[in-house]
């Protein structure tokens, strides 16, 4: 199916958006806001490690993503592909559950800084989930 470099490109795009989202959220104090939990703007830095921010995944997920990308850059790696698929699936659900992300992709919620970060991150997550599927053996 997809060549590993397509997965690496998608994961790298998503990682760049995730890192940009971390920076923007920390500067603008955008805490996570999902239906069953809400963070505090006063604790965005602390919460970004384990819960993420309004526009980025938690730091431990981004770290795992760096690890998987590095492994795939060395060659085919089923564990790294699996990790990116799982991360992509989880991040896609994360973007869907975040109220600020859903708002940013509507005309009324457009923000010239946050909207492109959300769209790039969300698209990268979906691509990671799809491109990370198991590949048939030749």
* Position 122 in a domain: yes
Q: Where are the beta strands (DSSP E) in 1-138?
A: 33-34, 37-38
- Structural domain boundaries enclosing 100: 4-131
Contact 111, 52 (CB under 8 A): no
Q: Which of 95, 71, 66, 91 lies closest to 81 in space, CA to CA?
A: 71
* Position 137 in a domain: no
Task: Report the distance separating Cα 132 and Cα 120, nearest Å.
Answer: 18
Residue % of the chain over a pLDDT of 90: 93
**Residue 80, SS3 per DSSP:** helix
Task: Report the distance separating Cα 137 and Cα 2, nearest Å.
Answer: 13
Task: Report the distance separating Cα 87 and Cα 13, nearest Å.
Answer: 14
Q: pLDDT for 46-79, tens place per residue?
A: 999 999 999 999 999 999 999 999 999 999 999 9
Q: DSSP state, 55?
A: T
Output the pLDDT for position 103: 96
**Count: domains in the chain:** 1
Residue % of the chain over a pLDDT of 70: 96
Q: What is the pTM of this model?
A: 0.92
* Position 136 in a domain: no
Q: Tell me which residue has tokens 């470099």.
A: 5
135 confidence band (pLDDT: 50, 70, 90): confident
């Amino acid at each position: 199916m997809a060549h590993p470099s397509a997965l690496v490109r998608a994961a790298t795009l998503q990682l760049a958006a995730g890192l940009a989202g971390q920076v923007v959220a920390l500067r603008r104090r955008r805490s996570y806001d999902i239906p069953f939990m809400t963070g505090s703007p006063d604790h965005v830095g602390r919460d970004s490690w384990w819960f993420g921010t309004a526009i980025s995944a938690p730091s431990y997920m981004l770290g795992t993503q760096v690890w998987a990308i590095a492994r795939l850059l060395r060659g085919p790696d089923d564990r790294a592909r699996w990790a990116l698929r799982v991360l992509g699936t989880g991040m896609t659900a994360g973007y869907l559950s975040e109220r600020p992300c859903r708002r940013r992709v509507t005309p009324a919620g457009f923000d010239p800084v946050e909207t492109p970060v959300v769209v790039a991150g969300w698209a990268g997550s979906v691509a990671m989930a799809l491109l990370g599927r198991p590949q048939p053996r030749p």
